[in-house]
Amino acid sequence: MHRIMIVDDDPINLAIMKALLEEKYEVITASSSLQAFGHLRRDNNLDLMLVDMEMPESDGVDVLKKIKTTPKLAEIPVILLTTVDGRSKEKEAIANGVADFVEKPIRGDILLLRVQRELRMQELEKSSSNSVSQVKLLELKVRLHQVLDQFS
């Protein structure tokens, strides 16, 4: 089962998103970036993070930057939860590797579709990189056999 962390300082938003996602995914919630990073220090095995763009102690772009510059966390896709006012930071978020945006107030159908799409893209990337690795390994085996055949 995919593991998703939701980071939002609004307990109502947290509850709504958790209710929408917990039927299909394991959902971990954090009400601040500090709480989120505390959890990530203990357990960074996540498939996706949903992070509120506007929180009191740090904004979503700051959280995104920290995730993307931390080697153990950099591969976790981040979807930022934005309001119309939060759109001013979209360019900075894109430059720092955001996976997608979901606008608040949250529409359940859109949230589910964006989460499903991001998780599917992640699965495709992993399977294609595994396929590429397998092809490269096979090529190396063929070359090794050719070299060994020259010496026999």
Q: Are 57 and 87 within 8 A, CB to CB?
A: no
pTM attached to this predicted model:
0.83
pLDDT, residue 152, reads 47
Q: How far apart are CA 78 and CA 46, in angstroms?
A: 10
Q: What is the pLDDT of residues 91-142, one digit of tens each?
A: 899 999 999 999 999 999 999 999 999 999 888 877 766 666 666 766 776 7
pLDDT, residue 53, reads 93
Please list, in sequence order, all residues whose beta carbon lies within 8 angstroms of the beta carbon of residue 116, skipping any fewer than 6 positions away. Answer: none
pLDDT, residue 143, reads 73
